């Protein structure tokens, strides 16, 4: 009798476990995954003035996927990239994410170039439970507070802002000025920069605003010079930065310039400034360890040229390459029975992963932080060539 009872209990328990496993299996989400492929979506601007952060980053992702596919894919599955244009606008970005989620039915998304557009899609991504790896947008709000399914491999605005101030102080700056764009992009960096100043107990000697596409910056430079600044932290796009540097030199003002990742294509920036010696004291953050012309990037340069004839490897490609390598690593670690849950777990467990491009290792400290890149590097023009001069470890 007892044996029968035990048998019944065991059978019931077994059935319950089987049922639970069944429910768990039913809940496991493998949308976008077939026996032969994994469909990954990408969003970002494909045209317009800042297409580089979208289209070129996607080209970098495509180059990594092509390389992985040439080697047999991930657990036998080829990676397929589906691109959607978000036009850098919240409305278009939400449409793009909905299209990727419900029409293309992708497994995960990579990209996100513009802060406000990427911020706007966060609720939709969370509702659709699609994993996303951000590779260009920098606003902290995209990944802070932590969203279970959103990671970033780009340096965030607060990391860069703290690094800019720390770098200026390490170089002996005493009177630091700020010039910032007060648009969505600029404010995402400007606000944490002011917080970093506050945390260090210092006040900027001058705080000037500039438009993204100015024709002249004489007024700003004269005011900053008048306040006795010895260094300028730039929160501007390259065009505004180039005009500031040019006008400062014109007025005989040679402060320490501290840029950020928007001005990380120093070859192009040098041409935009167009004055010899103007960048002698100009340093800027790069999210990548190498410049496109460095010999270490020769292989990637070849791959980009092969896939996109006529294109030259750029730093924007490198952003895409880094993020795609992290994504591929997590896809491999997620195992053969690929689900979104397994992929997110694998992303969260990435520790000290070295990519071909990022200055430091990538570590995602889930669930505390999904901001996986904490290593800004610095570049300067030396002998006419952009050169990486070091990596900042934030205090």
Cβ closest to other proteins, residue 84 vs residue 247: 84
DSSP notation for 3-24: HHHHHHHHHHHHHHHHHHHHHH
Q: Which residues bind other proteins (CB under 8 A)?
A: 46-48, 51, 55, 83-85, 87-92, 94-96, 98-99, 101-103, 115-116, 119-120, 123-124, 139, 141, 182-188, 191
**186/238 with CB nearer other proteins:** 186
Residue number, 91 or 312, with CB nearest to other proteins: 91
Shortest Å, Cβ 102 to other proteins: 4
Write the Ramachandran bin of 390: left for phi over 0, alpha for psi from -120 to 50, otherwise beta: left
Q: For strand 282-286 and strand 377-382, is the pairing parallel, antiparallel, or unpaired?
A: antiparallel
Q: How far is the CB of 10 from other proteins (least distance, A)?
A: 42
Which has the closest alpha carbon to 244: 183, 191, 178, 320? 178
Please list the residues that pair with 40 across neighbouring strands: 81, 108
Rounded least distance, CB 124 to other proteins, Å? 8
Q: How far is the CB of 340 from other proteins (least distance, A)?
A: 17
Taking the C-alpha atoms of residue 133 and residue 144, their distance in angstroms, rounded to an integer, is 14
The b/e string for 254-276 (b: 16+ C-beta within 10 A; e otherwise) is: ebbbbbbbbbbbbbbbbebbeee
Can you list the alpha helix ranges (DSSP code H) found in the chain?
Answer: 2-27, 55-70, 90-98, 115-128, 157-170, 184-200, 218-226, 238-250, 266-273, 298-307, 315-333, 340-348
- Number of CB atoms found within 10 A of residue 6's CB: 10
User: In angstroms, rounded to a whole number, what is the distance separating the alpha carbons of residues 285 and 168?
Assistant: 12
Q: Which residue number, 85 or 208, has a Cβ lying nearer to other proteins? A: 85
At closest approach, how far in Å is the CB of 181 from other proteins? 9
Of 45 and 259, nearer to other proteins (C-beta) is 45
Q: Least separation, in Å, of the C-beta of 183 and other proteins?
A: 5
Beta carbon of residue 187, minimum distance to other proteins (angstroms, whole number)? 4
What six digits make up the tokens of 369?
Answer: 């932080």
The nearer residue to other proteins, 159 or 279, going by C-beta atoms, is 159
**Residue in this structure with the two tokens 């492929």, named with its chain if needed:** 37
Q: State the minimum distance, in angstroms, from the CB of residue 184 to other proteins.
A: 4
Q: How far is the CB of 312 from other proteins (least distance, A)?
A: 18
Residue closer to other proteins, measured from CB, 118 or 380: 118
**What is d(CA 62, CA 57) in angstroms, rounded to the nearest whole number?**
9
Residue 44's region, left for phi above 0, alpha for psi from -120 to 50, else beta, is: left
Q: Which helix (H) or strand (E) holds 207?
A: strand 206-209
Nearest by Cα to 26 from 14, 18, 38:
18
Least distance in angstroms from the C-beta of 76 to other proteins: 29
C-beta separation of 192 from 198 below 8 A:
no
Query: Could you give the C-alpha distances from 264 to 88, 102, 314, in angstroms and in order?
Result: 20, 36, 10
Q: Are 348 and 360 in contact (CB under 8 A)?
A: no
């Amino acid at each position: 009798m007892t044996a029968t009872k035990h048998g019944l209990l065991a059978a019931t328990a077994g059935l319950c476990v089987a049922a639970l496993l069944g429910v768990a299996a039913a809940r496991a989400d493998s949308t976008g995954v077939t026996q032969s492929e994994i469909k990954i979506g990408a969003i970002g601007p494909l045209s317009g003035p800042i297409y580089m952060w979208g289209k070129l980053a996607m080209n970098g992702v495509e180059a990594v996927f092509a390389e992985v596919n040439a080697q047999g894919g991930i657990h036998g599955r080829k990676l397929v990239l589906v691109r959607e244009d978000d036009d850098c606008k919240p409305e278009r970005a939400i449409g793009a994410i909905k299209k990727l989620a419900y029409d293309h039915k992708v497994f995960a998304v990579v990209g996100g170039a513009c802060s406000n557009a990427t911020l706007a899609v966060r609720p939709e991504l969370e509702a659709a439970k699609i994993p996303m790896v951000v590779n260009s947008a920098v606003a902290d709000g995209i990944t802070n507070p932590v969203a279970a399914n959103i990671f970033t491999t780009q340096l965030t605005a607060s990391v860069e802002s703290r690094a800019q101030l720390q770098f200026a102080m390490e170089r002996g700056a005493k009177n630091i000025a700020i010039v910032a764009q007060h648009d969505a992009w600029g404010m995402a960096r400007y606000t944490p920069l002011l917080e970093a100043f506050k945390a260090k107990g210092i006040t900027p000697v001058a705080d000037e605003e500039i438009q993204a596409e100015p024709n002249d910056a004489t007024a700003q430079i004269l005011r900053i010079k008048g306040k006795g600044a010895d260094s300028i932290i730039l929160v501007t796009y390259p065009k505004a930065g180039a005009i500031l540097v040019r006008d400062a030199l014109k007025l005989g003002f040679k402060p320490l310039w501290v840029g950020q990742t928007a001005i990380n294509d120093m070859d192009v920036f040098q041409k935009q400034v167009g004055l010899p010696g103007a960048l002698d004291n100009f340093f800027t953050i790069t999210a990548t360890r190498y410049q496109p012309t460095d010999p270490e990037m020769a292989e990637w340069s070849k791959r980009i040229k092969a896939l996109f004839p006529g294109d030259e490897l750029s730093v924007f490609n490198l952003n895409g390459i880094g993020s795609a390598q992290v994504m591929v690593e997590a896809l491999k670690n997620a195992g053969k029975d690929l689900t979104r849950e397994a992929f997110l777990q694998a992303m969260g467990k990435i520790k000290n992963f070295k990519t071909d491009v990022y200055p430091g290792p990538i570590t995602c400290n889930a669930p505390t932080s999904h901001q996986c890149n904490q290593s800004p590097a610095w570049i300067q023009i030396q002998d006419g060539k952009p050169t990486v001069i070091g990596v900042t470890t934030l205090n």
